[in-house]
Amino acid sequence: MPFEATIASFARALADPLRPAPTATRRRDGRPVERRFAVYRNNVAVALIGALEARYPVVRRLVGDEFFRAMAGAFVAAEKPRSPALMLYGDGFPAFVAGFPPASAIPFLADVAQLENAWVEAYHAAEADPLGLDALAAIAPDGLEALRFRPHPAARLLRFSHPAASIWSASQGEGEPRTPEVWSAEEALVARPDADVSVRVLPAGGFAFAAALFAGASLGEAAALAAADGFDPGAHLVGLIEAGAFQSLISKETQR
């Protein structure tokens, strides 16, 4: 059997516990390796479930170890790693949770998983010095509306149907998680300007404003898109910069 076919057969057998060990997989004396292969298959599943436990600790805490491992096991059976780096495994878990029937009684669970996934992505994102407020001081007032910004590689904007950021925040540390005082949809910014990842709930209009800037709109254009009662684009821009949402200003030469 060609080497590529052998590897493919080995991978399929690892993914399906009902499959026998590949015929090309034998002991040195030529005997089958069913028991050894079963142990190896189990170790692979345990390692992948462990990677999900590390990536989604709040989801695990919210549903308990037994439920989480069962749900993670179903995900592992459905989706195999696409990279040899184990830390990259599990980015499809939030979508899986959203469609996992036993989790339907916890409608906010997929949102929390989405936030935890964004946290991990931000943590492993490329290094870049964040834009500082001093960069704005060098801009003449009549040039502010035309400013455009380059997002920081670690910045992530998220929109939830539930108070996922508040649930996530309340689940940090010891003790029972607190139920959010206000149960409503939330929008959040996940960023990592330095060594620590932060999660910031955005005010009304904040998501539209930040999303427009992330997409390349000018400051004036973004402010118009985010028109909302009481929304202050200047104050929110300062908040985004302080949170590390941007890497740099985009010069007029770059825009051409």
Q: Which domain holds residue 158?
A: 128-256
Please report where in the chains the tokens 């990677």 appear, as a residue: 51
Per-residue pLDDT tens over the stretch 89-107: 999 999 999 999 999 999 9
Asked if residue 114 belongs to a domain, the reply is no
Using the 8-state DSSP alphabet, how is residue 187 labeled?
E
Could you count the other beta carbons within 10 Å of the beta carbon of residue 183?
A: 11
Per-residue pLDDT tens over the stretch 193-241: 888 999 999 998 899 999 999 999 999 999 988 776 678 899 999 999 9
Query: What's the pLDDT at 231?
Result: 83
Indicate if 143 and 250 belong to the same structural domain: yes
- Higher pLDDT pick, 58 / 175: 58
Indicate if 211 and 248 belong to the same structural domain: yes
Average pLDDT over residues 123-148: 92
Average pLDDT over residues 119-124: 96
| Domains of the chain: total | 2
Indicate if 72 and 140 belong to the same structural domain: no
Using the 8-state DSSP alphabet, how is residue 149 labeled?
E
Asked if residue 198 belongs to a domain, the reply is yes
Please determine, for residue 113, whether its predicted confidence score (pLDDT) is greater than 80.
Answer: yes
Query: What's the pLDDT at 159?
Result: 97
Please determine, for residue 26, whether its predicted confidence score (pLDDT) is greater than 70.
Answer: no
Indicate if 157 and 198 belong to the same structural domain: yes
Indicate if 158 and 242 belong to the same structural domain: yes
Specify whether the CB–CB gap between 61 and 171 falls below 8 A.
Answer: yes
Indicate if 48 and 92 belong to the same structural domain: yes
Strand (E) or helix (H) holding 110: helix 109-124
Please determine, for residue 3, whether its predicted confidence score (pLDDT) is greater than 70.
Answer: no
Specify whether the CB–CB gap between 166 and 190 falls below 8 A.
Answer: no
Indicate if 173 and 249 belong to the same structural domain: yes
Closest to 35 measured CA to CA, from 21, 24, 45: 21
Per-residue pLDDT tens over the stretch 38-71: 766 777 888 999 999 999 999 999 999 999 999 9
Please determine, for residue 180, whether its predicted confidence score (pLDDT) is greater than 50.
Answer: yes
Closest to 56 measured CA to CA, from 99, 105, 110: 110
Per-residue pLDDT band at 253 (split at 50, 70, 90): very low
- Higher pLDDT pick, 1 / 41: 41
- Higher pLDDT pick, 201 / 2: 201
Using the 8-state DSSP alphabet, how is residue 233 labeled?
H
CA distance 153 to 190: 11
159 strand-pairing partners:
187
Indicate if 254 and 136 belong to the same structural domain: yes
Asked if residue 117 belongs to a domain, the reply is no
Phi, psi of 51 (to 5 degrees): -65, -40
Query: What's the pLDDT at 177?
Result: 75
Query: What's the pLDDT at 256?
Result: 43
